[in-house]
A = this chain, B = another copy of it.
């Protein structure tokens, strides 16, 4: 079976150089100089370490999934020497919504999937869930993005578009960790 659990470790080691760690909303993460994405339950010797697990689709419907799969590219592309880790925690009010209410905010009102689609295949992405790893996880999601340096401004536009949506009204903590492969 493919690895589902990933660890994201900030510290003084790792193939990624940390360009910046910025709190968008709520508490930041400690500043570090290097970063690693690791398979499994690793990296516990880092200055900070976040864990997330890939899982089944929570909102995406079949037609959207097929469109995404047709357009997206995988992680690890040679030219994708820029990356970002964006840990997010949503509010208790979000998690108390029913499935139809969350889907309505996520896509009908916020076009989360459609916004992401506009930036494919330039921006590759993998979503990791943390909320159900345990009771005391600091974030609900860790999204990992990879892109070429020439697409960094497109990536910034995508983040700005997402952060302007009604869905982001439910985000109570968000940190942006920007990385360069060196």
Contacts and interface: CB of A to CB of B under 8 A. Distances in A.
A59 B56 CA distance: 13
A100 B64 CA distance: 11
A103 B98 CA distance: 13
B62 A135 contact: no
**Count of identical protomers in the assembly:** 2
B132 A61 contact: no
Q: Is the interface of A mostly helix, strand, loop or mixed?
A: loop
A154 interface: no
A2 to B, nearest CB: 10
Contact of A99 (B4, B60, B95, B98): B60
Contacts of A4: 135
A25 B97 CA distance: 33
A57 B99 contact: yes
A132 B142 CA distance: 14
A3 interface: yes
Interface string A45-64: 00000000101111111101
B131 A59 contact: no
A81 to B, nearest CB: 29
6 contacts: A53-B134, A55-B132, A56-B102, A56-B131, A132-B133, A133-B134
